[in-house]
Every structure is written in C-alpha cells, then in structure tokens.
Amino acid sequence: MKTTCIKTICLLFSILVLGACSKDEEVFTGNIAGKVTDAATGEVLQGVTVTITPGGDARTTGSDGYFEFRDLEPKQYEIQARKSGYTTNNKTVTVITGYDVPGDIQLAPVVQDGKLALSVSSLNFGSQNSSLSFSIQNNGNATFNWNISGLDKVDWLSVNPTTGTLVAGKSNAVTVTLNRDRVTEYKEATILVNADDESVALKITAEAEVKTSKIALTSSVLNFGTAYSSLTFDVKNIGNAGDVNWDITGIDAAWIKVTPTAGTTAMGKSSAVKVDIDREKLVEERNTTNILVNADGESLRVTINAEKGNGNNDDGNGGGYTGEVVVKSGLQAYYPFDDETADDWTENELDGILYESPIFSGETPNGRGKALFLNTNKYPNQVLNIPYNPLKGLTAYSISLWVKDFSAGIFLGAVDGNSWDDYMCLYYKENGRIACMQRVSSEFSGYNAASLIDGNWHMLTYVQVSGNAKLYVDGKLVDSQATGGVSNISVEGTVGGTRMLVDNNMKMDNLRIYNRKLSADEVIEIYNAEK
C-alpha cells in the first residue's frame, strides 16, 4: 500500500514538471522558405535578391536557388524577387505560428527581341531608275548587328552599306544602285538582310532601259495678234536615246517664215525656232496655219495665229512676248504643262507625277499652250506630286504660279511622308486668306484672296527670305508677313521622303520654283511675259 502511494505521487510530480516545461517552450513565430526558379525552363536561379516587406530584410539565393526568412511574426508578408535579365516578381505569403510556409517564386526572363523589319518588301527599278533605297528597322528592344547576303552572284547591282549595327527603335538607310549597262533583259534577284537569328528577303527586279527619242515644245500655239512680227518656241529633247534629229514641215502659208527648218538637239537640251510673219501678205482679218515639228516618228503641231495690223511691236529686239522663258536665273524647276505632262522644263529635270489622270485645257492665261486642271472635288487623289524637294537646303526661295477657280487647299507644299508639319506650305484658307507654313502658320491677313475667285486667271508669287514672306498678286505686292523662320525643307527623304505636292481644286499654269529671292521688277517681268 505504501509503495503504491509513492508511485502515484511520483507520477503526479512528473506530470506537473512536464506540463511546466511545455508551457515554457510554446512557439509564437513562423518561417518562410522557398526556391526561385526560371519560369521558362524550371531551373533554379542563383544570385536572386529576395526582399521581405515589412521588415526590409534581404536574402541572396545560392546555387540551389534556396532562401529562408525565420522567426517571423504571424501575419501577411510580401516577398520580392529580382535578378538582372529577369522581370521582377512579387508574392504575398501569410505566416502561421509554428509553421514553415512555402514561398517558392518564379522569374520570367526579359525577352531580348531584336525584331528585324524592312521598309519595303521589294524594289522595282523598272526601265528608268538606277538608284533606289530602303530602310532596315529595329522594332525590338535590343541592339543587333545586321548584314546583307546574296550579292555574290549578282553583278548588275551594288548595295551600300552591307553591314551595320542598329539600336532598338532606330533604322538604317540602304542604297541599291543598278548598273544599267549590265541589264540587257529582265533581271530578278533576292537578297537577304540578316540580324541575329532573323533573315528578311528583299526581291529586286529591273527591266532593260527602253531607249526613246522624244521631243517637246515650249509652246504649241503662237499668237501674233495685231502687233507682233516675230515669235519663238523651243524644241526640247526629253528622250534618253542621245541626240534627236528633227525637221519642220507644213510651212505652206506664204505669210510665215520659219528658221531653222531642221536641226539636231542633244539629250536634255533645247533648240530655238524663230517664226516671222509678213503682215503685208495676210489675206484675212484673222489668219491661222499649222506647222509640224517631226522627230523619229512623232509629230507635234504648232498653231500660228495672226491678225491684220502694223506689227509695231516686233520683238526681235523691241520687247514684248518672244516665246522664251524669262527670268531664268535661279530657276530650279519650271512646269508649263504645254506638252500635257508635269515634266520640268529646266535642265534639272525634276519631273512631276500626275495622279488620277487630271485633264489639260487650252484655256490658259495668255491663250498659248496648255494649263492643268485638278478636280479634287470629284477625284480627291488627283494631285501633282513632285517626288523631289527643289527647295532642299535653301534659306531664300520664290514660287510663282497662275491659278484660276481655286478652293481651300494646298497651292504648293513640302511634305515628309504624309505629314505637313514643320515644312514649307503655301495654301488658301476657308476664311479667304492665303497663308504660309514655316514651322508655324502665318496668314497674309492684309489681303482678301477671295476676290481672286472671279473666273479669271491670276498670278501668285511667294517670296521668302530671312524669316519674312511677301505675297504678290498679278505682279503687285499686296502683303508681307513675318514667318516662323526657315522651314524644315532641308530634310532629304529616301523612300517616301520629303517631296513637293499640289493638292487643290483649281486650274493652274506656269509653276516656277526659284532657289533665290525674286525682286519686284522680276515679278513684273514674269507677269508681263505670261499674261
């Protein structure tokens, strides 16, 4: 009995002692432990900085990708993992007393995408072009090195440059030059533009140049009226087959004399032809005859009109209209439209392109030649495009043109791609004012141009120099205006680059572009010669 009591007492004592020890060792914290892995491959990541908030403690993973935060109060925490080359990731973890809470987290690698693109998918030289350009574009977010291959078996073209380095978001221009002497038939080649693991093909085609002999006349009508006894026109060689031989036939009227009646004109050059009339041999009050200028299978007609009169204004040396282009100094481009094209009649050959087939009218300011009619009300894309910029790099320039029945729109402007911003532009506004764009719009507010829409032809002349612009109408200065400085006309585009554009519903004639300031006397001289 005594032994049993002693055992019972010892057992109770043990329970009390063990109970006291358990109370002393009660846990009030928890832990977070985990691994950082690559989201793409599943591999553990070393060198990842893992930060816990609140608290701000940080751990760096080792070769096993492991990290641990111990003895944390039971509440919600946010852990952040970051490593160069990976997208930073955050994760919310709730700590529970006495537990190791898993904190595994993944990091996605940053996509180093050197995205290669070309501005065009093909280059077609046709039968005339000898140089075209395209752009290599980096649409990704990493710099790449590029090169061009596929040229080793192509001896009829060259590319410059053929290698380069391109940072993200930028582009490189590449020029492709054709050796036309080696293009005797249709040619086709494909080159590859390579960058890292990407390659983009560019197809290049060319046709043999068609040699054509072609002439144009500076005037198809000579009106002697009652005063003139001598007028001239030019035969212009606008072909590409070298010298052109021409002659004049149909000189049947006894009252005209043509000098010379035949000639040879070099490619790109002009030859003057003088027509004299003998007024004593005029039979009718109004006399008309036609002559033909012939060259290599084509014949162009010149109509000669004369009325009885004394001929006192013979312009051999005595003033008046001679059929010649006046004020030639600094004339960058001249578009008279008399040959029913938008060809430039200067030696610069900055030929324009007509879209949507506008018509040509014999209703001109002086009754000679042809005028251009742009009907943009019916055909919105019917424009004159000059795929060059005759004003490139100029600080002073002048523009002269005849207009009739115009509406709100562009008389002439430089455009880069599809943007008019920051480029030279001369236009008519709906409020009846003519304005110019030189970085900012400047309006000729002192002149109401709505009065010019009266069914008659009027000559507009715009003169720009040193931040000041002058507007002449019919040879007279009507207003001047300070402009926003020299426009950004020095930009030279490649494919789809800076060009000149006429976009207005109107009739126009004798568009002149000068690389200098015209004087008031020169404006008068042009007006008197063309009216």
103 and 243: one domain? no
Q: Is residue 21 in a domain?
A: no
Determine, yes or no, domain membership for 394. Answer: yes
Say yes or no: 121 and 223 in one domain: no
Looking up tokens 């600080």 gives: 395
Mean pLDDT, to the nearest integer, of 62-76? 93
* 427 and 531 both lie in a single domain: yes
For position 40, which CATH number holds? 2.60.40.1120
- Say whether the peptide bond before residue 260 is cis (omega within 30 degrees of 0): yes
Of 158, 179, 206, the domain-final residue: 206
What's the pLDDT score for residue 502? 62
In terms of domains, do 305 and 440 share one? no
Which residue, of 147, 175, 206, is where some domain finishes?
206
SS3 53: strand
The Cα 90–Cα 70 span in angstroms is 19
Q: Is 159 contained in some domain?
A: yes
Domain assignment of residue 139, given as a range: 116-206
Give 473: exposed, middle or buried? Use CB within 10 Å, 0-12, 13-18, 19+.
Answer: buried
| Beta carbons of 473 and 447 less than 8 angstroms apart | yes
Tell me which of 148-157, 262-271, 488-497 is least confident. 488-497
432/340 same-domain check? yes
Going by pLDDT thresholds of 50, 70 and 90, the confidence category of residue 322 is very low
C-alpha 489, offset from chain centre: 12
> Domain check: are 233 and 312 in the same one?
yes
Q: Is residue 98 part of a domain?
A: yes
What is the C-alpha to C-alpha distance for residues 76 and 127, in angstroms, rounded to an integer? 75
Domain assignment of residue 73, yes or no: yes
Helix (H) or strand (E) holding 193: strand 187-195
pLDDT over 50 at 276, yes or no:
yes
Residue 12 lies in a domain: no
Backbone phi, then psi, for 383, in 5-degree steps? -135, 165
Residues 495-514 pLDDT 10s:
233 445 565 678 999 999 99
Number of domains in the chain: 4
Q: Residue 288: how many CB atoms within 10 A of its CB?
A: 10
Residue 18 placed within a domain:
no
Q: Do the domain assignments include residue 68?
A: yes
Sheet strand arrangement including 425-428: 353-354, 384-386, 499-503, 409-415, 425-428, 434-438, 440-443
Whether residue 485 is predicted with pLDDT greater than 80 in this model: the reply is no
**Residue found by looking up tokens 């940053």 in the block:** 110
* Most confident among 13-22, 218-227, 377-386, 463-472 (mean pLDDT): 463-472
> What percent of the chain shows pLDDT beyond 70?
84
Task: Specify whether 342 is located in the same domain as 405.
Answer: yes
Residue found by looking up tokens 């001369």 in the block: 426
Residues 375 and 442 in one domain: yes
- Domain end: 324, 358, 377, which one? 324
Residue 91, both tokens: 């994760």
